[in-house]
Amino acid sequence: MTAKSGSHIGIDIGGTFTDCTVVLSDGSIRVGKVPTTPDDLSRGFFGSIDDAAERIGTSGEELLAGAKQVSHGTTVGINAIVTRTGARVGLIATRGHGDAIRIMDNSGRVTGVSIEEVLDYSLSRQPEQFVRRADIAEVIERVDAQGRVVVPLDEDQVRSEVARLVADGVEAFAVSLMWGFVHPDHERRIGEIIREEAGDTFVSLAHETDPRLGEYERTVTTVLNAYVGPLMHDYIGAIVGGTGARGFAGDVLFAHSDGGLVTAEFARRQPIITLQSGPVGGVIASANVGEEIGSLNVIATDMGGTTLDVSVIHGGKPTIADLAAVEQHAFHLRKVDVESVGAGGGSVAWVEPESGTLRVGPHSAGAMPGPACYGRGGVEPTVTDADVVLGIIDPEGVLGGELRIDGEAARAAVATLADRLGLGVEECAAGIVEIVDSKMEDLVRRVTLQRGHDPREFELWAYGGHAGAHATLYSRGLGVKKVVVPMGNLASVFSSYGIATADVVRTREASLYLQTPFPAADRARIDRAFAELQAAVERDCADMGVAAEDIEIERTANLKYALQVFEVETPVPDGPIDEAGLEALLANFDRAYEQRFGPDSRYAEAGYALTQVRIRASARSERPPLPRLDPAPDPPRQGREREVFWQELGGAVATPIFDGPDALPGHRFEGPAVIEYPHTTVVVRPGQRAEIDPVGNVVVIVPEPAESPADLVREEVPS
């Protein structure tokens, strides 16, 4: 066990399980999994490490003491927001603008809610606020769009408002001023006054948290950062203290939504960046594994109990978005771009009373009571119950080594619907699967097309407990040629694998507003802004222990056409933005715009505007390469068969069942077949063929589809 030292350890806390993936120095992988401990999440954190250590044949302490890197994806922040248990926040805003978070861009009713709620007004409402009206202090100061001071900061008034809020009992401060991201002096000075008046109370300054235009979203970002700040501070302290006490000498790294890791100190200061890190692990893992095997264009899908999360990796890089929503509040967050649809294993099938027709979701039975087949009191038929009725999931099996499937309960639940619809039970179950898979197909197509890509040029990667059972069905309508269930059983802990192998990433940005013709003085401002950003990220990286020569720099800028609204993040060429540099930048933008929005979508005649510049610095993780597995000496062992209902075959057929952990490179599985792992089931449909690749991925070859999806983005306007 020489590989025990120098390992990369990734811990991901989910709603049900806390997963730990250990990548040993020889590249081999071990996994720990324990139930999540909601009362004290750090217990599950260390429990999962102990569990993994046990499988390696060592102790948690020993594993940690020898570890090269420990990284962690936490849900503490998002939990506090959803359960409304964060700090009482005092908000300091520019006079006249403290209501921005109440007005919510006049869109609070519809932000991040299902289309059903958008259309039925009686189901929707304005969400609860995170700041009480009385805890908003408006201060005298004003800056304009060019960063000029129109009203000087009234420090005495600030001081008395801060004192009032402290006396009223606020536990954290958010400071978000109009145009503070262009002229941060007023926010900085207010931060100093708060420290003078309120000691080490958590302070969140908008120009640091979110230097972007849009006072509503920026204020929400800043408020949420303060709202979770004190809790995260304590939690990070417990994790850092605990790992240190167990002998880990390094800096624990935290996963953030921008697809990388930062040190505990950064996560403490800007906990908001950890907020939507949940889906990020899986996307990073897909990108990293994909890179190793030469799969650079990947549609990454994570099908859990309630949702299907979809993101696009193009050229090896995850697509990044800037806008997020939580509890109907919109905010800015640099994050791996993930879209969700309410379609998961727990999605409930029901009969719409007005039309008497079958619907699936968006309501989910969730983890509790969960599908009827879990035997926890659920009676509504879910997608998982349908999978059980069809035999795709073993009606007498055990999920994850713990949960015994109640096949009769699944059947009874589906039968109630089947009776109402005049369908056979299997037919009804196949119908439920067809409906939910159709929705997933449509979402995957949309996510890909909207980002300017053609799904036929991508592989579909499917992870999360339910993914392998459905992706091979709905992929047929998309025209993808391969469905990859990454690394077999690792699919269920894929996220923690991603966290274990992620890079250190730090992004900084600044806001500008410069327009055609970009005279020399404006171009010099761009150069200056990049120079300042570069110096800042290099400082950040040094603080995180990354040497300057290990940093990889990526420069981008947001541009738009003057009379159009969409901004597109555009690669900025190396070197100064002189005339040639500008020309290259604008050409990059034209290309990026057309790629994303279609040919003939641009209106360059109106001129260009540049709004944001950005530097993303990353330091590559020194993860060992994935070990190549030895080819199988023998064909796969086939021990079992069970009846599985295949809609393409019009009925149930005795189907070979294979044990996934025994599957090795060189094995081929002709559909229909089912490959079972403790936490995942891979369905090879009739006409499909599955193989195991050299790193252990299950690769399902999807035959040419009967029809091909629309080539939306390259749609030609007739000429």
* Interface with other proteins in residues 217-256 (CB under 8 A): 217
Q: Would you count residue 434 as binding other proteins (CB under 8 A)?
A: yes
Task: Confirm if 257 and 273 have CB atoms less than 8 A apart.
Answer: yes
Q: Would you count residue 92 as binding other proteins (CB under 8 A)?
A: no
Q: Would you count residue 154 as binding other proteins (CB under 8 A)?
A: yes
**Site for other proteins (CB under 8 A): which residue of 216, 331, 608, 646?**
216
Q: Would you count residue 342 as binding other proteins (CB under 8 A)?
A: no
The one segment of 142-150, 573-581, 582-590, 650-658 that binds other proteins by CB under 8 A:
142-150
Compute the least distance from the CB of residue 513 to other proteins, in Å: 6
Return the residues of window 607-646 that contact other proteins according to CB under 8 A: none
The one segment of 233-241, 556-564, 637-645, 683-691 that binds other proteins by CB under 8 A:
556-564
Q: Would you count residue 214 as binding other proteins (CB under 8 A)?
A: yes
Distance CA 446, CA 455 (A): 9
CA-nearest of 505, 504, 498 to 463 is: 498
Q: Would you count residue 355 as binding other proteins (CB under 8 A)?
A: yes
Q: 554 by DSSP, 3-state: which? A: strand
Q: Would you count residue 606 as binding other proteins (CB under 8 A)?
A: yes
Return the residues of window 374-403 that contact other proteins according to CB under 8 A: none
Q: Would you count residue 519 as binding other proteins (CB under 8 A)?
A: no
Q: Would you count residue 439 as binding other proteins (CB under 8 A)?
A: yes
The one segment of 4-12, 97-105, 228-236, 274-282 that binds other proteins by CB under 8 A:
97-105
The one segment of 35-43, 224-232, 427-435, 456-464 that binds other proteins by CB under 8 A:
427-435
Output the CA–CA distances (angstroms, integers) from residue 531 to 180, 257, 371, 526, 651, in the order listed.
20, 25, 55, 9, 66
Q: Would you count residue 125 as binding other proteins (CB under 8 A)?
A: yes
Return the residues of window 654-683 that contact other proteins according to CB under 8 A: none
The one segment of 37-45, 288-296, 557-565, 691-699 that binds other proteins by CB under 8 A:
557-565
Measured from the Cβ of residue 384, the count of other Cβ atoms closer than 10 Å reads 29
Supply φ then ψ for residue 45, to 5 degrees. Answer: -55, -55
Output the CA–CA distances (angstroms, integers) from residue 655 to 143, 295, 328, 385, 389, in the order listed.
70, 31, 46, 19, 14
Compute the least distance from the CB of residue 587 to other proteins, in Å: 19
Number of residues that bind other proteins (CB under 8 A): 91
Distance CA 164, CA 159 (A): 9
Q: Would you count residue 119 as binding other proteins (CB under 8 A)?
A: yes
Compute the least distance from the CB of residue 344 to other proteins, in Å: 16
CA-nearest of 554, 612, 608, 558 to 583 is: 608
Q: Would you count residue 145 as binding other proteins (CB under 8 A)?
A: yes
**Site for other proteins (CB under 8 A): which residue of 6, 316, 581, 598?**
598
The one segment of 49-57, 249-257, 292-300, 558-566 that binds other proteins by CB under 8 A:
558-566
SS3 content of the chain, % helix, strand, coil (to 5): 40, 25, 35
Compute the least distance from the CB of residue 121 to other proteins, in Å: 6
In whole angstroms, what separates CA 265 from the centre of its chain? Answer: 22
Q: Would you count residue 333 as binding other proteins (CB under 8 A)?
A: no
Q: Would you count residue 520 as binding other proteins (CB under 8 A)?
A: no
Contacts of 234 (CB under 8 A, 6+ apart): none
**Site for other proteins (CB under 8 A): which residue of 100, 284, 299, 386?**
100
Distance CA 368, CA 412 (A): 19
**Cβ closer to other proteins: 98 or 279?**
98
Residue 65's Cβ-count burial label (10 Å; 0-12, 13-18, 19+) is: middle
Compute the least distance from the CB of residue 272 to other proteins, in Å: 19
Q: Would you count residue 603 as binding other proteins (CB under 8 A)?
A: yes
Q: Would you count residue 487 as binding other proteins (CB under 8 A)?
A: no
Over the Cα atoms of the chain, what is R_g?
A: 26
Task: Confirm if 554 and 259 have CB atoms less than 8 A apart.
Answer: no
- Write down the residue that tokens 């071990």 correspond to: 30
Compute the least distance from the CB of residue 522 to other proteins, in Å: 11
**Site for other proteins (CB under 8 A): which residue of 63, 70, 178, 405?**
178
The one segment of 61-69, 286-294, 592-600, 692-700 that binds other proteins by CB under 8 A:
592-600
Return the residues of window 358-377 that contact other proteins according to CB under 8 A: 358-360
Residue 96's Cβ-count burial label (10 Å; 0-12, 13-18, 19+) is: exposed
**Cβ closer to other proteins: 447 or 490?**
447
Q: Would you count residue 595 as binding other proteins (CB under 8 A)?
A: no
Task: Confirm if 329 and 317 have CB atoms less than 8 A apart.
Answer: no
**Cβ closer to other proteins: 200 or 352?**
352
Compute the least distance from the CB of residue 443 to other proteins, in Å: 8
Distance CA 694, CA 267 (A): 37
Q: 561 by DSSP, 3-state: which? A: strand
Compute the least distance from the CB of residue 392 to other proteins, in Å: 17
Q: Would you count residue 85 as binding other proteins (CB under 8 A)?
A: no
Compute the least distance from the CB of residue 133 to other proteins, in Å: 7
Q: Would you count residue 120 as binding other proteins (CB under 8 A)?
A: yes
Q: Which amino acid is at 202?
A: F
**Cβ closer to other proteins: 256 or 602?**
602
Measured from the Cβ of residue 714, the count of other Cβ atoms closer than 10 Å reads 12
Q: 428 by DSSP, 3-state: which? A: helix
Output the CA–CA distances (angstroms, integers) from residue 318 to 313, 443, 489, 605, in the order listed.
4, 17, 23, 32
Supply φ then ψ for residue 70, to 5 degrees. Answer: -120, 125
**Site for other proteins (CB under 8 A): which residue of 159, 188, 591, 596?**
596
Compute the least distance from the CB of residue 442 to other proteins, in Å: 4
**Could you tell me where the DSSP H helices lie in 15-154?**
41-56, 60-65, 76-82, 100-103, 115-119
Q: Would you count residue 430 as binding other proteins (CB under 8 A)?
A: yes
Beta strand segments in 127-225, E: 136-139, 142-143, 149-151, 172-176, 202-205
Distance CA 116, CA 126 (A): 16
**Token pair listed for 706:** 């009967």
**Site for other proteins (CB under 8 A): which residue of 566, 628, 631, 635?**
566
Q: 247 by DSSP, 3-state: which? A: coil
